[in-house]
Amino acid sequence: MSRHILAGLIAFGFSGVATAPIQVFAAEQGAQQSAYYLVNLGTPFGGTSSAAASINDRGWAAGGAVTSDSNEHATLWLGKALDLGTLGGPNSNIAWPNPNAQGELAGIAETAKADPLNENWSCSAFFPAITHNVCLGFKWQWGVMSALPTLGGTNGYAASLNNWGEVVGWAETPKHDPTCVAPQVLQFEAVIWGPAPSEVHQLAPYPGDPDSAATAINDLHQVVGISGTCDNAVGEFSAKHALLWENGQPINLGSFGGVAWNTPTALNNQGQVVGFADLPGDESGAANPVGFIWTREHGIQKLLPYPGDVNSFAWGINERGQIVGQSIDANGNPRAVLWQNGVALDLNALVPADSPVYLTLANDINDLGEISGQGCVVDNGACTSVAPAVVLIPTQGNGEFAPTAVESTPRTVVLSDNVRRQALERLGVDHLRGSR
């Protein structure tokens, strides 16, 4: 078991924080050894859904959990689930990998103020419902959530941060952008906040593009993100170009021929970038992505879906180049996957076979090989409406293994429309091109 995370999950907690019991699943004695223990983090605040979007090298799992009143709150799991609160509004979330191991987190939270322009804004794709409250990026450290400033506009979004405490995301300017699609009105640009509290650095979009957004930053101050038109501030044509910023200068990472949804999601300190990019034929804006890895030596390369599936998303990468994400079939059914040596492995085949949780999302992987994500509770071969956050812990070493030695026949589970919807809601779309 992990040298720190299992002990922390079971033994350590915050007093007074309501939480569902944490369950750990291991292969039964005498059964074939699985590659991972599966830790079910539960749905701690009375709702039926939670997701762990991030896991750092301290084993901090962070994400969001739906509450009993159908809102969502940013959550940190340390033995028990810590509700990080909001900025006065109903919702908050941590939706991207946060590799910072210095006790800091970054995410999004709503205020009590109504958006004067009634925009949906980017946050709406990561909350249970659209509220039209002003949403801002936040930085959290040791119990304190601090709002991050915009670029003079109404809303902001913080995605991730590095070990220097630099936070990246995007924020609105006061400019009414003619490339926006209603109800979006204001232009937005990629931002680095910090490391000092008063520091705000705007990053230029790719030449010719009016808008941009930053999604990840490493400890070498390299930043990745997207650039394009304003659109609806959730992917699509806002992600015309996948970018790497070095010393503030945007570099186009290339594409697979699509003109939308070209989105880096994470990078490590080796300069390896992962994400997803559309295939040709997406001129209508319909998402048709496959995962990618970009390196300076080899450029952009595909991370193909699990055999038989049609789309894939790469969400996280560690310093050893292990990549996690999702693979989705033609009917929109998601499975959590690990790419090792470029090959997609179904994580459901690498956890105990009798686990009552089917893995639908792997969103981050730390340098110990521990994986955070989401699954659905299975009853009689079908997913129920309960979709808990999960953590996977390698049973041996750091999670590097010979795939042919451990991967078995993929598990077959009937997935509900709700599970399929959750797999796509962060894209702001109802279905992928070709999905039913």
Which CATH number does the domain housing residue 344 bear? 2.130.10.10
Pick the range with the lowest mean pLDDT from 121-130, 147-156, 259-268, 389-398.
389-398
Q: pTM of the full predicted structure?
A: 0.92
pLDDT for residue 301: 98
Instruction: Judge whether residue 15 has pLDDT over 50.
Output: no
Indicate the number of domains in the chain.
1
Residue 132 lies in a domain: yes
Confidence of residue 9 (pLDDT cuts 50, 70, 90): very low
Q: Which amino acid is at 382?
A: A
Residue 50 lies in a domain: yes
pLDDT for residue 417: 77
* pLDDT, tens only, 278-301: 999 999 988 999 999 999 999 999
Range of the structural domain that residue 409 is part of: 5-427
Residue 434 lies in a domain: no
Pick the range with the lowest mean pLDDT from 9-23, 244-258, 322-336.
9-23
Residue 353 lies in a domain: yes
Residue 435 lies in a domain: no
Counting residues of the chain whose pLDDT is more than 90, the rounded percentage is 77
Work out the mean pLDDT of the chain and round it to a whole number: 89
- Count of residues making up the chain: 436
* pLDDT, tens only, 307-316: 999 999 999 9
pLDDT for residue 431: 57
3-state SS, 367-413, equals CCCCEEEEEEEEECCEECCCECEEEEEECCCCCCCCHHHHCCCCCCC
Helix (H) or strand (E) holding 5: helix 5-11
Residue 432 lies in a domain: no
Residue 267 lies in a domain: yes
Residue 162 lies in a domain: yes
Confidence of residue 405 (pLDDT cuts 50, 70, 90): very low
Give whole-number Cα distances, 42 to 11, 47, 181, 353, 359, in Å.
16, 10, 38, 19, 13
